[in-house]
């Protein structure tokens, strides 16, 4: 059994609702994406599993988790302000728009879903809100926290990691996101040859799908 970890940096950014502009002032690894009427920040990385999947071995996951220090904070909040946080570990590389679609459809079967249940090692979608009682504190409170991961075994040599932040505020504000650590506990096991080859074929197809805008 091996414990693996990957981290996303903290980020402090200002968000101008009028110009739909995110300006990053501290932290690394995030970029702004615009899609329709939404603006959001995305950080991506991946676990390199090649050292564990050599010699034709399959990875079996026994646990996945995400650690962070504090909820999102805002310097000038208004009751009703919201912030969504999406954390994903998966066996399929995602486009920026795919990550956005996951925030709406996750891996539930439907026209908008971009990941299947078995492709999603770990998925978590949270929505935070600012209310009148919490304005002085500056931290968002949790409205919803949902998980959708499968911990499905894979022969892939990469597990892709995405963290997405979607601000929805009524005034120009500075938002602080603390760093996050993704954790996986995995064991490399040699499967019967036919099962391994089918799993390897599926992993290859996922990593080489044509890019979609």
**Residue 165 within any structural domain of the chain:** yes
Q: How confident is the model at residue 61 (pLDDT cuts 50, 70, 90)?
A: very high
**Residue 213 within any structural domain of the chain:** no
**Residue 212 within any structural domain of the chain:** no
Mean pLDDT of 52-78: 86
pLDDT tens readout for residues 141-195: 999 999 999 998 888 889 999 999 999 887 788 999 999 999 999 988 876 554 5
pLDDT value for 201: 59
Secondary structure in 3-state letters for the chain: CEEEEEEECCEEEEEECCCCEEEEEEECCEEEEEECCEEEEEEEEEEECHHHHCCCCEEEEEEEEEEECCCCEECCCCCCCEEEEEEEEECCCCCHHHHHHHHHHCCCCCCCCCCCCCCEEEEEEEEEECCHHHCCCCECEEEEEEECCCCCCECCCEEEEEEEEEEECCCCEEEEECCEEEEEEEEEECCCHHHHHHHHHHHHHHHCCCCCC
The pair of three-digit structure tokens given for residue 127, joined into one six-digit string: 């929505």
Domain that holds residue 114: 2-207
pLDDT tens readout for residues 13-45: 998 877 888 999 999 999 998 877 778 899 999
User: What does pTM read for this prediction?
Assistant: 0.86
Q: Count structural domains, the chain.
A: 1
Alpha-carbon distance 153 to 48, whole Å? 15
| Angle, vertex CA 149, rays to CA 180 and CA 108, nearest 5 | 125
**Residue 35 within any structural domain of the chain:** yes
**Residue 52 within any structural domain of the chain:** yes
Alpha-carbon distance 193 to 185, whole Å? 24
- Provide the mean pLDDT of the chain: 85
């Amino acid at each position: 059994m091996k414990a693996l970890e990957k981290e996303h940096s903290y980020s402090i950014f200002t968000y101008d609702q009028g110009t739909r502009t995110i300006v990053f002032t501290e932290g690394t690894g995030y970029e702004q994406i615009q899609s329709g009427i939404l603006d959001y920040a995305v950080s991506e990385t991946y676990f390199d599993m090649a050292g564990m999947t050599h010699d034709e071995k399959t990875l079996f996951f026994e646990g996945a988790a995400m650690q962070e220090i504090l909820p999102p904070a805002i310097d000038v909040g208004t009751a009703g302000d919201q912030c969504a946080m999406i954390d994903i570990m998966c066996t399929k590389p995602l486009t920026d728009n795919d990550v956005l679609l996951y925030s709406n459809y996750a891996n539930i079967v439907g026209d908008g879903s971009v990941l299947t249940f078995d492709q999603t090692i770990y998925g978590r979608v949270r929505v935070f809100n600012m209310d009148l009682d919490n304005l002085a504190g500056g931290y968002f409170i949790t409205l919803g926290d949902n998980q959708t991961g499968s911990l499905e075994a894979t022969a892939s040599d990469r597990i892709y990691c995405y963290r997405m932040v979607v601000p929805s505020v009524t005034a120009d504000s500075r938002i602080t996101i603390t760093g996050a650590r993704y954790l996986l506990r995995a064991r490399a096991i040699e499967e019967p040859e036919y099962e391994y080859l089918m799993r390897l074929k599926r992993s290859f197809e996922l990593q080489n799908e044509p890019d979609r805008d």
